[in-house]
Amino acid sequence: MKKSIVCLISIISFSFSIDNNGDSLVMEGVRSFYNYEFDRSIDILNEARLQYPNHPGVHFIWSSSKYYISQGIDPVHATYDTLDKVLNQIEPIYKRFVEEEPDNNEYKLYLGSTRGLKARSSLGNKDWISVLVQAYRGFSIIEKVAEEDPELIDAQLPIGIVEYYASVSNIFIRWAVNLYGLESSKEMALEKIANAAKNSKWAWIEASGIISFIYLWLEEMPHEAIPYARRLSNEFPNNFYFNILYLESLIKTNMIADARILTKELDKKFEPLTRRQKDWYGPYLDYEKALLLFYENNYLKALPLIDKAIDNYSGELDIILGNLFLLKAKALDIQGNRSEAVKYYKKCIDLDNFSYAIAESKQHLSVPYTGKRISE
């Protein structure tokens, strides 16, 4: 079974459409969290949990923050232990909320989100059947909430993610998802995610990141990614990942001057990152620098950066690794080194991860890459 789009099931839809006591304090914690002010975020969310223990989203957001902080400092598998631990703490809270207020769709949404996020550990371990079973435990609740309350737009995000995953998966996954009553239409899935990105109260943050990721690396539609990635970069300037999304969109839409400026800014923002974040994002940044050189037709300078990024790659996702293999193959093709280029096209294809890079690599196995990028 194909490797999954790991980030697509990282369903952290911070979503509550009705005004609740404590919204402003929780929002402050969320914004700090997304802007990489993690200690401040946890302090705020701890306070919010004490002051507003019945707030629909605070416990789920707190647990998600704990998980993301772990990602910045711990080895990958240790982060799954952290996630399992915090989700096991909050699931009984949401079960109690739903039992006490069975008509409260926000409580049900967060119970479903908590159960759905439990699939994250299985996803990281590439246990695909477990991913589907665990995720559906949550999504069955979320889908019912969406049917009962179509105004709760935040619920469209997790449903859209699962439907997109199904649309690009093999026939077994599509059959299983359809059996559960969900769609497997890529267009409808993207429409749901875009709706959450544009119109939800809080889920727009995660939805914008996910749809940017899809448009940049899965669908090869960078012009569609630009408005989402730009907003994320502007709202959360310290978020290194959001800036990587924006940089990728700038380069791929030939906004080269802006891309150069952002690259210099990211060099400065790289220094305060934790060691784990540097291990993770260093190769991402080297990839972006190589991509920028490639779009400037400077293939000789791009190749050492590509090799450095490949050698040091430690990210959980292999989507960018596939793009590195593709970028190296194309640069080698342009230099006339066809045998080495074919080797790297095949490396990309072997990742089998649904990305557009795989489709392009398959094309260039038979037709060498000869195109040149337009630079400013």
pLDDT on residue 175: 53
Query: Does residue 3 register a pLDDT over 70?
Result: no
Q: Are 30 and 205 in contact (CB under 8 A)?
A: yes
Which range is least confidently modeled, 89-93, 138-142, 293-297, 328-332?
138-142
**Tokens matching residue 118:** 């439990």
Taking the C-alpha atoms of residue 280 and residue 10, their distance in angstroms, rounded to an integer, is: 17
Going from N- to C-terminal start, the domains of the chain cover 6-219, 225-366
Instruction: Report the Cα–Cα distance between both ends of the chain, in Å, rounded.
Output: 42
SS3 318: coil
Percent of the chain clearing pLDDT 90 (strictly above): 64
Query: Does residue 350 register a pLDDT over 50?
Result: yes
Tell me how crowded residue 320 is: count the other CB atoms within 10 A of its CB.
Answer: 22
pLDDT on residue 17: 45
Which range is least confidently modeled, 13-17, 169-173, 248-252, 333-337?
13-17
pLDDT on residue 240: 97
Query: Does residue 128 register a pLDDT over 70?
Result: no
Query: Does residue 8 register a pLDDT over 50?
Result: no
Which range is least confidently modeled, 41-45, 184-188, 204-208, 332-336?
184-188
Q: What is the DSSP string of 121-164?
A: HHHHTT-HHHHHHHHHHHHHHHHHHHHH-TT-GGGHHHHHHHHH
Taking the C-alpha atoms of residue 110 and residue 23, their distance in angstroms, rounded to an integer, is: 15
376 Cβ neighbours under 8 A, 6+ residues apart: 254, 256, 257
pLDDT on residue 12: 42
Task: Determine phi and psi for 322, rounding to 5 degrees.
Answer: -60, -40
- Choose between 185 and 348: higher pLDDT: 348
Q: Are 90 and 74 in contact (CB under 8 A)?
A: no
Question: In sequence order, what E strands does 185-263 have?
Answer: none
Query: Does residue 2 register a pLDDT over 50?
Result: no
As a whole number, the mean pLDDT across the chain is: 87
Q: What is the pLDDT of residues 54-101, one digit of tens each?
A: 999 999 999 989 998 888 888 878 888 899 999 999 999 999 999 999
Taking the C-alpha atoms of residue 200 and residue 153, their distance in angstroms, rounded to an integer, is: 5
- Choose between 280 and 128: higher pLDDT: 280
Question: In sequence order, what E strands does 225-305 have?
Answer: none
Q: Are 78 and 70 in contact (CB under 8 A)?
A: yes
Q: What is the pLDDT of residues 135-178, one digit of tens each?
A: 778 878 988 898 899 888 988 898 888 788 878 765 555 555 55
pLDDT on residue 171: 52
pLDDT on residue 373: 42
Q: What is the pLDDT of residues 27-45, one digit of tens each?
A: 999 999 999 998 999 999 9
pLDDT on residue 179: 54
From the candidate CATH numbers 3.40.50, 1.25.40, 1.10.1740, 3.30.390, the one assigned to the domain spanning 6-219: 1.25.40
Q: What is the pLDDT of residues 314-326, one digit of tens each?
A: 887 799 999 999 9
On the question of a common fold for 6-219 and 225-366, the answer reads: yes
State the average pLDDT over residues 334-338: 95
Q: What is 225-366's CATH superfamily?
A: Tetratricopeptide repeat domain (1.25.40.10)
